[in-house]
Structure 1
Amino acid sequence: MSGAGPGEVPERLCRVAVDLLPVVGASVSLHSDGMPVQLGASGPRAAYVTEIQATLGDSPCQWAARSRSPVLAGDLTTGGDAARWPVFAQQATAAGVSAVYSLPLGDAQVCVGTLDLYGDTPGTLTRGELRTARLVAGMMTIALMALPHEEATGEQDEDVWLGGLAADHDPLYQAAGMIMAQLAVGADEALARLRAHAFAQGRTALDVSHDVVAHRLRFDDDE
């Protein structure tokens, strides 16, 4: 991590995960109000599949965050994993990802996010590989919390600092607030409407949120 700025650390650690494990991609996300917010990824494919997980709202990373335990989907091409998340499995395999291993960041009481590892062929992690993945997830959590966040934001509040790393996703929450006002619905319903529209258009929720914030799309016009 020598010489890395706060925004570079998640991406660098994702690349370390790819070097240490039999995977082709990795990403790290914070989880807030059921919406994964991507902090970094090892490359474009991992970033894209992470956005698919966020858009669909039902995928391995959400299960890992809720259960606070690893979710190992070793075969998205067929069988139980493909049946458990059929839409995600179809889109992930179309992007060249056949296995996803999601590990929570935090402890048994609190999960602040997930480390998601992506394989291009079906398979399971060995006991040793899972132990390594857990160590990487632990180091990811420690590294994120240990960064000199006051240099990045001028604030001592860790929530403010982490929010700064996820600033690219601010339009997602702005759009959800606008949809809440347009439809007079709660936050969960607004996010569900945003995700559904994105899915129907074959886009990511983050992509659609930019249209909402820029007033190119209103959800009350859809009613």
Structure 2
Amino acid sequence: MRPRDEHRGERGRECAGAADAIADGVRDVGPGDIPARLCDVAVRLLPVTGASVSLHSDGMPVQLGANNAQAAYVTEIQATLGDGPCQSAAESGAPVLACDLTAGRDVLRWPVFAQQATAAGVRAAYSMPLGNDTVCVGTLDLYRDTPGDLTDHDLRTARLMAGMMTVALMALSRMDEVGEPDDERWLSGLGADHDHVYQATGMIMAQLGVGTDEALARLRAHAFAHGRTALDVAQDVVAHRLRFDRDQDQP
């Protein structure tokens, strides 16, 4: 066998092994648990300690699942800041690898996110776009507690995981459209908490007389200034525990 053919054969075996692990990971799992279960599989297959999956809508990541609290929190940090590898991956439609959040170019590129992430115990973050060559619908975000690159093998596996995430989310989306028994809305239910962000944005628009972008920026700024997530602050706004006033420079 020629070296090129051997290389292709090795890649094929790698993909087959990863596909088998993915299939085993989601076997007998309800639709609503699939995103989190795929995050578990990603952590088993890759040299990472955390994984989360999010849809991206109007610049705000909507987290659908994570394998642990740390991954969920760091993804919420990116949603609060409106900045970080997942935002860059969603905008570019290409993988974004922040291999060292403790020093160097990654810190210069995302200084606030890097500080917040390292404070939470994350030293590297890798974001894989979900979708196709023309449309990015979300990201698979991978985290680990030590700096370092992904090998070519790791990157192929991460891309395969992102492809499987995309297929799963599209299947869940179709289930939402056609309806399952008892009209279970799995995908809508997974992102239900983030409805508060959109509701709060609308309320802030009315309170301040500003547009959507400004209202969302105010929400994020308030959350960051008070060491909270955008989702936490949005829930307070919707519950009328917090109001944004026109006569305040900052909420």
Q: Which category of TM-score, normalised to the shorter sequence, fits these structures?
A: over 0.9
8 Å Cα contact 1:14-1:42 kept in structure 2:
yes
SS of residue in 2 equivalent to 1:7: helix
Name the counterpart of 1:65.
90
Name the counterpart of 2:103.
78
**Do structure 1's residue 101 and structure 2's residue 126 form an aligned pair?**
yes
Name the counterpart of 1:35.
60
8 Å Cα contact 1:37-1:169 kept in structure 2:
yes
Q: Which has the larger radius of gyration?
A: 2
Separation of aligned partners in 2, 1:146 and 1:31 = 17
Name the counterpart of 1:182.
207
SS of residue in 1 equivalent to 2:127: strand
Name the counterpart of 2:180.
151
Separation of aligned partners in 2, 1:173 and 1:152 = 28
**Cα 1:154/1:74, change in 2 over 3 Å:** same
Shift of 1:151: 1.8
Separation of aligned partners in 2, 1:220 and 1:8 = 40
Q: For 2:139, which of 106, 114, 119 is the aligned residue?
A: 114
**Cα 1:14/1:197, change in 2 over 3 Å:** same
**Do structure 1's residue 206 and structure 2's residue 231 form an aligned pair?**
yes
TM-score (norm 1): 0.94
Q: Mind listing any 5+ residue stretches in structure 2 that lack a counterpart?
A: 1-25
Deviations 1:53-98 (A, max 9, x none): 1000011100000000000000000000011101100010011100
8 Å Cα contact 1:177-1:187 kept in structure 2:
yes
Name the counterpart of 1:166.
191
8 Å Cα contact 1:172-1:205 kept in structure 2:
yes
Separation of aligned partners in 2, 1:164 and 1:110 = 23
**Cα 1:189/1:152, change in 2 over 3 Å:** farther
Name the counterpart of 1:125.
150
Shift of 1:7: 1.7
Name the counterpart of 2:31.
6
TM-score (norm 2): 0.84
**Cα 1:126/1:56, change in 2 over 3 Å:** same
Separation of aligned partners in 1, 2:192 and 2:221 = 23
Deviations 1:16-67 (A, max 9, x none): 0000000000000000000001000001000000000100001110000000
Q: Which amino acid aligns with 2:229?
A: T
Separation of aligned partners in 1, 2:32 and 2:187 = 10
SS of residue in 1 equivalent to 2:180: helix
Separation of aligned partners in 2, 1:163 and 1:152 = 15
Separation of aligned partners in 2, 1:222 and 1:8 = 45
Q: Mind listing any 5+ residue stretches in structure 1 that lack a counterpart?
A: none
**Cα 1:222/1:77, change in 2 over 3 Å:** farther
Separation of aligned partners in 1, 2:247 and 2:220 = 14
